[in-house]
Structure 1
Amino acid sequence: MSSLAEPDWEALARHPQFRELVSNRRRFVAKVTAFYFAYFVVYLALLGYAKDFMANEVVGISLALWGGFSICALTMIMAVAYARRAPEWERMAQQVVVEASR
């Protein structure tokens, strides 16, 4: 297949390996997004309804600030988790392209 040729997108979309790739990636993103959303909502709820608790200090820093730091850390952790899974998805995508070009 020439690099300038337009692939048959409909055929690729019907390919079982492509469907597996999309399903695998969608499941990962949905789970991670749901976890992040729940974590963030709990953090906001604690900020709003447990002000005295969040005002407690650990190592001289309030729990509210530690929670904010944890959100930033969680974002980085999720980015690393996605980056670690990306090569697997790339391999799956390459397999679909090879199969489709036959």
Structure 2
Amino acid sequence: MSSLSEPGWEALARDPQFLELVSSRRRFVAIGTAFYSAYLVAFLALLGFAKDFMSKEIAGISLALWGGFSICLLTVVMAWLYARRAGEWERMAQIVVEGAGRR
């Protein structure tokens, strides 16, 4: 495919491989966002409504602080999961690009 020519965007949007790529990414982001948001809201709810529970200490550190650490850890884990999946999405995108080049 020449760098000067425009691909057929309508045909590309109907390509089953492209639709699978978009669906896979959308599903990952939606589930990840919902999980992270629910986790954060639960943590904030515990901070607000279960102050006695969150003030208990484990290993000399309050549960509130452990919860804050867990949110930081969850962010790193989610970024790692995204990076792992990004390789798969890149391969899927390459297949779509190669298919568009043959048209």
- The answer for the alignment partner of 1:68 in structure 2 is 68
CA distance in 2, matches of 1:57, 1:5: 64
Unaligned runs of 5+ in 1: none
Within a 5 Å distance, the mapping from 1:3-82 to structure 2 comes to 3-82=3-82
CA-based RMSD: 1.0
CA distance in 2, matches of 1:4, 1:45: 55
Normalized against structure 1, the TM-score is what? 0.95
The more displaced of 6-15 and 23-32 is: 6-15
CA distance in 1, matches of 2:49, 2:60: 22
CA distance in 2, matches of 1:5, 1:73: 45
CA distance in 1, matches of 2:3, 2:67: 48
Unaligned runs of 5+ in 2: none
Paired letter, 2:31 = K
The more displaced of 8-17 and 85-94 is: 8-17
CA distance in 1, matches of 2:31, 2:85: 14
CA distance in 2, matches of 1:32, 1:93: 21
CA distance in 2, matches of 1:3, 1:69: 48
How many aligned positions are there? Answer: 102
